[in-house]
Amino acid sequence: MSEKLVLAIETSCDDTSVAIVSDSGCVYKMLSAHQDDVHKPFGGVVPEIAGRNHSMAVLNLVDKVICGSDFEWKDISGLVVTSRPGLVGSLIVGLVTIKTLALAKELPFVGVNHIEGHIWAPFIYEPLQEPPKIPQKFLSLAVSGGHTQLVLVSQPNNYVVIGKTVDDAAGEAFDKFAKMMGLGYPGGVLVDKMAMAGDPHKFKFPRPKLKSNDFGFSFSGLKTSALNLLNSLSEQEKKAMQNDLCASFQEAIVDTLVGKLERAISHYGNLPISITGGVSANSRLRERVKEFCSQKKLELFLPDLKFCTDNAGMIGFAGSRLIREGILSSQNLGPSPRSLPNDFIYEDC
Ligand code: KG4
Ligand code: ZN
């Protein structure tokens, strides 16, 4: 076999995911354990519980991924793990597991940045699918529960961040709004569902920083404005108008994200676009970005729905790209709640 395979582990937040991925991005086998039901009563991820659950799930998933695939350990040539940014108690579980496997199986390993993983998610594929042709340079909008950033990506692994959120991430705004509405957790997908039957122009929410002359984002003002509106409504009114409230709130986020993409394209020129991260699963965002790209005749790369939220497939591909460049980690590698200074180049933000 000419392709090289890695085994990858992702445990940066509350999803435990393990995958076997090739260096061209083919995800041969991926298994994930989700903790949504465990964290639901708290309305958000409880870090200590997340770490504890990772420790119970991870080795079992590693075994199942190897046994359930057509491969054996001897076919694996490297190991990859998310080492940053994320919840430290969660990252430690994946990291210590990979380090131990690296020693036991005598394999090299690399720790990757979680956002870098998301950036490569639109380019992973499954057996029997055509591999997407990765552009030399593209503009990536990484929108998740923890991050919102616009990145100019050049092959093989060069990342220039041109804009990021100054406060909340877009997914966090969705989650907090869903909590205020009493919809449950995780919020984004629930707001997306309700918004389908609502009027996006019924309520006027602010579009923070949309008109500012930069590529940055801000979502905390939008959240406060939603809180004020919801406080002015009775429980019956909220219930009766919940679809319209969700659709209007969602439209404000989508307008902001698409507006900043438009600004970036008019500044940096026509580049292929990719949207990634949990929020890239949002049906309205996908629809609006498709419209925008077709108007401007831009190539668009969106992850398959199962690769939008956290998964080891994207981490494996990001890591195998680093291994291909000779970048490896040592047993001294520790977890970090934040990106490291050399992970991204920051331009004007
Ligand atoms: O990438 P991800 O799994 O984790 C982080 O890296 O943060 O993203 C999770 C976020 C959550 O905030 C969740 O509400 C949001 O992605 N999300 C969505 C949708 N599906 C997940 N937001 C809007 N619409 C969706 N359909
Ligand atoms: Zn993520």
Q: Which atom of ligand 1 is nearest to the CA of 281?
A: 26
Nearest CA to ligand 1 atom 6: 144
CB 145, CB 169: distance < 8 Å: yes
pLDDT of residue 316: 99
Give me ligand 1 centre to Cα 186, in Å. Answer: 8
Q: What is the DSSP string of 218-270?
A: --HHHHHHHHHHHHTS-HHHHHHTHHHHHHHHHHHHHHHHHHHHHHHHHHH-S
Residue 331 is predicted with a pLDDT of 98
Q: pLDDT tens per residue, the chain (349 residues)?
A: 589 999 999 999 999 999 999 999 999 999 999 999 999 999 889 999 999 999 999 999 999 999 999 999 999 999 999 999 999 999 999 999 999 999 999 999 999 999 999 999 999 999 999 999 999 999 999 999 999 999 999 999 999 999 999 999 999 999 999 999 999 888 999 999 999 999 999 999 999 898 899 999 999 999 999 999 999 999 999 999 999 999 999 999 999 999 999 999 999 999 999 999 999 999 999 999 999 999 999 999 999 999 999 999 999 999 999 999 999 999 999 999 999 999 999 997 7
Of all protein residues, whose CA lies closest to atom 16 belonging to ligand 1? 278
The pLDDT assigned to 2 comes to: 83
Looking at the CA of 145, name the nearest ligand.
1
Cis, bond preceding 186 (omega within 30 deg of 0): yes
Distance in Å, CA 97 to ligand 1 centroid: 26
Query: Which residue minimizes the CA distance to atom 8 of ligand 1?
Result: 278
Beta-bridge partners for 151: 140, 161
70 CA from centroid of ligand 1 (Å)? 32
Q: Give the predicted TM-score (pTM) of the model.
A: 0.97
Residue 43, pLDDT score: 86
Decide: residue 179, CB within 10 A, 0-12 exposed, 13-18 middle, 19+ buried: middle
